Amino acid sequence: MKIIYSFLILCFALNTLSQPALPCTNNVYCSPNPPPQDFLDNNTRSVVKLFIYDGGTSGTATLLRQDFSDDNEQENIIITARHVIHQGNSGFGPLLDLTNVDVIFNYSSPGCANIAYEGRYKLKTKLTLIDESLLWDIAVLKIESPIPPHYKPYYSGWTATPFATYSGGDFYDFSLPAADMKKISHAISANISLINIPTRYDVFWTDGRTQKGSSGSGLLNFNRRLIGVLSGGTPASTETCFNTQFANFGKFRSFWLGNSVTRNKLNPNNIFGLIGNSGGEIECYSGDLFLDGLYWPAADYQPSNLITIKCDGNMYLAHSNKTLRIISGSEFNFEAGGNVITALPGFTAESGSNVTIKSNMACTAMRTANQIDKTDIDSNSVNYYYDEKKGELPKEEINNTESISTLELFPNPSKGCFKIKSLVYTTDPFDFELIDVNGRVLYSVTSNYLENGEFEDFQFKELASGVYMLKIHNEYTKKTEYKRVIIQK
């Protein structure tokens, strides 16, 4: 009983302190002893910040991966500290209202300097409690709303093996203090207490610290799997670099063994048993995918800027009166296993963004996409986007966009001089427009009929090196094609 009570006092201390981040804390990409790059890049994306409007409380949680043999059944399961979701700092109070919760993804910096953008990846949702324990101060919940694909969530691995901490290696914690961005803390195995404390691991940080708001974050072992959940630290009226060096984590193994609901949720098929499950990400959505929202540069929260979103069906960019805007500086690949990618007028790619759209791409599905009413979706494809400065592509052009395979552009790349060759005889005139990356029309002409083998010559020696688009439009058939023109000097 003494162990339980002292454990809850520590919860109380960490949950009530509120100060700016200490100078001894480290942003996730600014650690003096970082984990391997893929470990860092992946697992930091599994950590989210919770803000519960009932009570105005905040904490940290980690997405966990279930061991379904068919990953299309994967759910959005998170683990956090029990006291985060209950009234009262020690967690003795009743359960908070979890119907109005912000789950904040990717609130981190790619370097040592902070960037203020907490609301970019905020998911307003309901949480459903699956399992909890006052003894271990652990709670398992489900995020009821689908996570937007461009959030790029990662599902952390976990283990309940008794050997989770017995081998040498480094241990890490990713957390979100209430007053700051995502932080990383590091400990070596010698600094983790293993004996005489059945409910928790006691950790002394080698570098980094955990502060208020960090409660609920996961302790990850050398094998990149969650083994504990942060409950508290040394009681103190004021946080300092000295008194925040200590933290305690509820033992996930003990919680897992004592709670069949959690075992059945994370390990329904008993594929891995105590060993647990490795981490994983959503590589591809099954079925059709409907996208909307603001797509920001990933380089604002991680070193890599390119985000690839895949589905094994058709893809719709904007839908059901919802818009999709690609923010300047972003780099996105949209790949569909089906033969249709449709961009509606609500789709905008700002100047300075880089968007690649590909259909008929092979992909292995991991989970089922959220299904949306298709009644207002155009089923034809588009292979180019218009910059907002140019204006929306007329609806009738979107409806009829398809390849004009009878025309060939060469050479490409060129120094500014290239030709369009007709592969067959046609009785229709073609309109040509050369467009720069800002959507400006640099040149336009209406062609005469092109016999088989005839050319349309283009001379743009004055243009700078770069990527341009040649719009080819047949006014009679209403067919439009965009060919990428590369000028290299």
Q: Given a cut of 50, is residue 6 above it in pLDDT?
A: no
Read off the pLDDT of each residue in 111-120 and give the average, rounded to a whole number. Answer: 80
3-state secondary structure of 407: strand
Least confident of 166-170, 214-218, 384-388: 384-388
Q: Given a cut of 60, is residue 16 above it in pLDDT?
A: no
Residue (of 208, 63, 25) closest to 141 by Cα position: 63
Q: Which two tokens stand for residue 441?
A: 């029309």
pLDDT band at 226 (very low <50, low <70, confident <90, very high): very high
Q: Which two tokens stand for residue 427?
A: 């009785």
Q: Given a cut of 60, is residue 10 above it in pLDDT?
A: no
Q: Given a cut of 80, is residue 193 above it in pLDDT?
A: no
pLDDT at 59: 93
3-state secondary structure of 133: strand
Average pLDDT across the chain, whole number: 79
Q: Given a cut of 70, is residue 7 above it in pLDDT?
A: no
Per residue in 298-334, pLDDT (tens digit) is 999 999 999 999 988 888 898 877 889 999 899 999 9
pLDDT band at 269 (very low <50, low <70, confident <90, very high): low
pLDDT at 235: 57
pLDDT at 230: 95
pLDDT band at 115 (very low <50, low <70, confident <90, very high): confident
d(CA 357, CA 318): 14
Q: Given a cut of 70, is residue 122 above it in pLDDT?
A: yes
d(CA 447, CA 458): 12
Residues 6+ apart with CB under 8 A from 286: 72, 311, 312, 313, 365, 366, 367, 368, 369
Residues 6+ apart with CB under 8 A from 5: none
Least confident of 181-190, 399-408, 419-428: 399-408
Domain extents for the chain? 2-275, 283-401, 404-489
pLDDT at 90: 67
Question: In one letter, which amino acid is 385?
Answer: Y
Look up the pTM and report it. Answer: 0.73
pLDDT at 397: 32
pLDDT at 295: 94
pLDDT at 220: 94
Q: Given a cut of 90, is residue 64 above it in pLDDT?
A: yes
pLDDT at 406: 67
pLDDT at 372: 30
Contact 221, 252 (CB under 8 A): no
pLDDT band at 398 (very low <50, low <70, confident <90, very high): very low
Q: Given a cut of 90, is residue 180 above it in pLDDT?
A: no
Per residue in 412-423, pLDDT (tens digit) is 889 999 888 876
pLDDT at 14: 41
Read off the pLDDT of each residue in 389-414 and give the average, rounded to a whole number. Answer: 53
Residues 6+ apart with CB under 8 A from 2: none
Q: Given a cut of 90, is residue 350 above it in pLDDT?
A: no
pLDDT at 340: 78
pLDDT at 381: 30
Burial tier of 333 (Cβ tally within 10 Å: 0-12, 13-18, 19+): middle
More confident residue, 160 or 47: 47
Q: Given a cut of 80, is residue 79 above it in pLDDT?
A: yes
pLDDT at 483: 78
Fold entry, domain 2-275: Thrombin, subunit H (2.40.10)
pLDDT band at 391 (very low <50, low <70, confident <90, very high): very low
Longest dimension (CA), the chain: 92
Dihedral sign of CA atoms 33, 15, 105, 325 in order: negative
Read off the pLDDT of each residue in 146-160 and give the average, rounded to a whole number. Answer: 93
More confident residue, 195 or 55: 55
State percent of the chain over pLDDT 90: 34
pLDDT at 455: 74
CATH 3.30.70.330 is right for the domain spanning 404-489: no
Peptide bond into 303 cis (omega under 30): no
